[in-house]
Amino acid sequence: MTGFRSFVTLSQILHLPLLLQIIHNLLHILRAIFGADLLAEGRQLPGYEELTGLSGHKPWECVGELAESSLALLLLAGRPEWADHHVVKALAPRLRPKMPDMERVREEFLTPSDNHRLPVRFKDMMDAYIRGG
């Protein structure tokens, strides 16, 4: 990983199925907030290109690493409910060649880490939830 991260990212502490379920549930909330599905809008493409490192520069530090954003988009591309969204369909073919070892990147970003500042109480609650307890 490049750069310094003082806080854990969501993908470092959550398992992928849980994260994808959260994203799926949030889609309805985000549509209500923004009035649209931002992954379905072509005018959003330049912003996602920057988030994934395909153009310009990553606009904010808090959105994670370029590889992390690219991985998230490629994982969405592999899911039928997301694959036809305009942004996903446009960027996935451009991102795949830049990430030939997707499984290694997935392991790096989606394996829970003990290097975080999450309070013990919340980490224990999350661990119990992930274990199904």
Residue 37 domain-assigned? Answer: yes
pTM for the predicted model, two decimal places: 0.67
What is the residue range of 66's domain? 11-111
**Number of domains making up the chain:** 1
- Helix ranges, the chain (H): 10-13, 16-34, 45-51, 66-77, 80-83, 86-95, 102-110, 120-131
Residue 121 domain-assigned? Answer: no
Q: How many CB atoms lie within 10 A of CB 14?
A: 19
State how far the alpha carbon of 94 is from the alpha carbons of 10, 15, 88, 107, in Å. 25, 26, 10, 21
Tens digits of residue pLDDT in 90-125: 999 999 999 999 888 888 877 777 777 888 888 888
Q: How many CB atoms lie within 10 A of CB 102?
A: 16
Residue 74 domain-assigned? Answer: yes
Q: What letter does residue 79 receive in the DSSP assignment? A: S
Average of per-residue pLDDT values in the chain: 78
